[in-house]
Amino acid sequence: MARYTGPIQKKLRSLGLDKYGVYGEKKKVNPVGGRRRRISGYGLQLKEKQKAKFLYGILEKQFSNYYKKASLIEGSTGDNLMVLLEKRLDNVLYRSGLFTTRNQSRQAVNHGHFTVNSKKVNIPSFQVSIGDEIAWTSKGLKTKLFESSVELSKEIAPPHWLQLDKNTSTTTVIKDPSPEDGEIVIDVRQIVEFYSR
C-alpha cells in the first residue's frame, strides 16, 4: 500500500486531525446529515493506528514491524513504540526545526542531503542513537531547501533531547526521547489494544 497522496484536509478530517499543526483548518466543516455515527471500540483502535501511520508517514507493514520491535523491548510496548517513531531520522530533522513537515524532511533524506556521523544516509527510517551528529551534505548545503531551513530554525526551538547548532545547522542527539515527546494527539493505548486482539 502506497503513502497517502490525496487531499490532505479530507484525510485529516477522517482522522480527527483537521485542526492539527500546519494543516489546521480555518473554517468549521459541518458533517452532512447532522449526527455523527458512533465508532466501535475496534473502529477507535484502527483510527489511532491510522493516525500514527499518517503523521509519521509510515506504511502498514513497516508500522507493524515497529510494534513487534517495541513489544520485544523491556517496558511499556506503547511507550517503546513512540520512542522508536521519534528516533527515525526524518522525524529528528523535523523535530530539530529544520522542516515544517515530516514529508519535507523525508524527501530531503531520500535525496541524499544528510549525513549521520559523517556517513551519508538516505534512509528516512534510520534509527538515531545518543551522540549521533546529523549534518547537511555538501550537495545539500547548495540547495534552496538549506536556505529555507536556516530561516525556519530561527523560529523553532528543538526539543530537550536534540541540540541544533544554528551556525552549521547540525543536529546532535543528546539523549533518548521520552514517550511524552511523541505526538500527543495519538492515543497509543488504543494501538496496543488493536494489536492485542
The string of pLDDT tens digits covering residues 51-87 is 999 999 999 999 999 999 999 999 999 999 999 999 9
* Mode of pairing for the β-strands spanning 133-136 and 114-116: antiparallel
Q: Who's near 44: CB < 8 A, 6+ residues apart?
A: 187, 190
Q: Are 59 and 53 in contact (CB under 8 A)?
A: yes
Q: Are residues 95 and 172 both part of a single domain? A: yes
Is residue 1 one of the residues assigned to a domain?
no
- Report which of 85, 179, 67, 184 is spatially closest to residue 128, judged by C-alpha positions: 85
Q: pTM surpassing 0.85? A: no
- The CATH number of whichever domain residue 147 belongs to comes to 3.10.290.10
Is residue 3 one of the residues assigned to a domain?
no
Instruction: Write out the residue range of the structural domain in which residue 158 sits.
Output: 88-176
Q: Are residues 151 and 121 both part of a single domain? A: yes
Q: Are residues 56 and 102 both part of a single domain? A: no
* Mode of pairing for the β-strands spanning 162-165 and 119-120: unpaired
Q: Are residues 69 and 95 both part of a single domain? A: no
Is residue 95 one of the residues assigned to a domain?
yes
Q: Give pLDDT < 70 ranges for the chain.
A: 1-37
Q: Who's near 180: CB < 8 A, 6+ residues apart?
A: none
Is residue 2 one of the residues assigned to a domain?
no
Domain count, the chain: 2
